[in-house]
Amino acid sequence: VFLADRVAVDNANTGTLQGYSQTDALMYYRRGNWRAQLNVKNIFDNEYYFATGNATMVQPAMSRMVVGSLKFEF
DSSP run (H or E) holding 27: strand 25-31
Confidence of residue 6 (pLDDT cuts 50, 70, 90): low
Mean pLDDT, the chain, whole residue set: 83
Q: Is 62 helix (H, G, I), strand (E, B) or coil?
A: coil
- Nearest CA-CA partner of 24 in 38, 7, 3: 38
Q: Give the tens place of pLDDT for each residue, 11-45.
A: 666 677 777 888 999 999 999 999 999 999 999 99
